[in-house]
A and B are shown apart, each in its own frame.
Chain A
C-alpha cells in the first residue's frame, strides 16, 4: 500500500491566520482525499482532490475557506484560511488503494489548535 508523508504533524496558530498542510505520496494516485476530525468526533470528508482539475468539496465546505492544490499525482496541499478556534481539529489526507482492493491509507495527521 502507499506511504503518505504529512506535515506539519501539529501546529498552534493565531486566530485569523492561515495554515497549509502538505501530503506527499510515494506513488502516483488519481485521487487524494482530505478529512477533518473535530475533537471527539469521527472523520468528515472535506474534499476530493484530482490532479489537473478543481477539487470537489463536500456540503458545508467551501474553496475560499479550504483551498486545495494538486499540482501532480503524488502531492497535495490543504490550506485552512482565516482560522478561528472552531477550526481546531485533526486534518488528514488519504488515498485509495488500487482497483480490486480499494482500501484507504492515511497520512499521520496534522493536529491544529487555533488560539
Chain B
C-alpha cells in the first residue's frame, strides 16, 4: 500500500527566502505526482503535475522535481511571499488510486 510522507509538517520563513518542501513515497510504480495548495478551510488548487516519465516541472516561482527510483519529490519556491502562506500537499497517483501526504503548513512572514 502506497504511503506518502511530507517533511516538514510546518515551516515558517521570512519573506524573500527560497525554500524546499519534501515529499516521499514508498512505491515507485506511479503514474504521476501532483502538488497542491490548500488555503484554510478551502479546496485544493493544483500547482504542478509531474508525469512518471518526467524529472521536473516549472511554473513561475515554483519548481517541482521527481526522482521516482528513490521515491522522492521536492517543491522549490523561490523568493517567497506572504501570499504563499498555505498548506502544500503532494499526492501520488498509482495503479490503485491517489494517495495524499499530510501536508506542509507554510507561513511566510512579512
Contacts and interface: CB of A to CB of B under 8 A. Distances in A.
Our verdict on whether A and B bind, yes or no, reads yes
Interface in B27-65: 31-32, 34, 36, 41-46, 49
B101 interface: yes
Contact of B42 (A1, A41, A105, A108): A108
Given A104-B46, A108-B42, A42 B34 contact: no
B43 A102 contact: no
B100 interface: yes
Counting contact residues on chain B (CB < 8 A from A), the size range is 20 to 34
A104 B34 contact: yes
A106 interface: yes
B90 to A, nearest CB: 10
B108 interface: no
Interface string B77-102: 00000000000010101000110111
A104 B101 CA distance: 15
A71 B98 CA distance: 24
Contacts of A107: 43
B103 to A, nearest CB: 6
A65 interface: no
A108 B100 CA distance: 17
Given A45-B97, A101-B49, A109 B32 contact: no
Given A10-B41, A90-B41, A103 B49 contact: yes
A96 to B, nearest CB: 8
Interface string A69-109: 00000000000000000000010101000000111111111
A111 interface: yes
A33 B96 CA distance: 13
Contacts of B31: 102
Interface of B: 31-32, 34, 36, 41-46, 49, 89, 91, 93, 97-98, 100-103
Interface of A: 1, 6, 10, 33, 41-43, 45, 90, 92, 94, 101-109, 111
